[in-house]
Amino acid sequence: MDCRLIQPHLVAYHFGTAGAEERRDVDAHLVTCRACLSAYLEIKRHAEVPGDEEPGDALLARLRTDVAREIRPTAVARVQRWFAGPVPRYRVASAAALVLIVAAIAAREATREIAEAPETGARLDTARTALDHTGVY
């Protein structure tokens, strides 16, 4: 087999992602070709050498922030998604509770306005029920 056809498959062969037929062809070729075997061993050496150093804490923190910014939806998008989603019972219950709270606050304000309103006109005395014909109680 031609070396130009085998060398592109050496990385897949090393990491075990090559298909069965491809693996069989590379096996057969590596036994007979010193140049491809040397190229395969070089790939293996580079793949198995650990990196020089691990990324620092600052870099990891910046990476997490950047990823979170890209993935996390904005507040407007979250509200739109909340309204666009299905309506489970807790959403109906929370909407009803909100309406009741607003109604209670409005009723309380109306009651306070009535209580604080200045009195106008004469009061009706309801203690006496009948008026005598002279107009005197």
Instruction: Choose between 9 and 98: higher pLDDT.
Output: 98
Residues in CB range of 37: below 8 A, 6 or more apart: 30
Average pLDDT, the chain: 79
Entry pTM: 0.36
Confidence of residue 105 (pLDDT cuts 50, 70, 90): very high
106 or 12: which leads in pLDDT: 106
Mean pLDDT of 73-81: 81
Q: What pLDDT, on the 0 to 100 scale, is given for residue 131?
A: 58
The per-residue pLDDT for 119 is 67
pLDDT of residue 130: 58
For residue 98, the model assigns a pLDDT of: 94
Identify the band that residue 104 occupies on the pLDDT scale cut at 50, 70 and 90: very high
The confidence score (pLDDT) of residue 12 equals 85
Phi, psi of 133 (to 5 degrees): -65, -15
Secondary structure letter of residue 20 according to DSSP: H
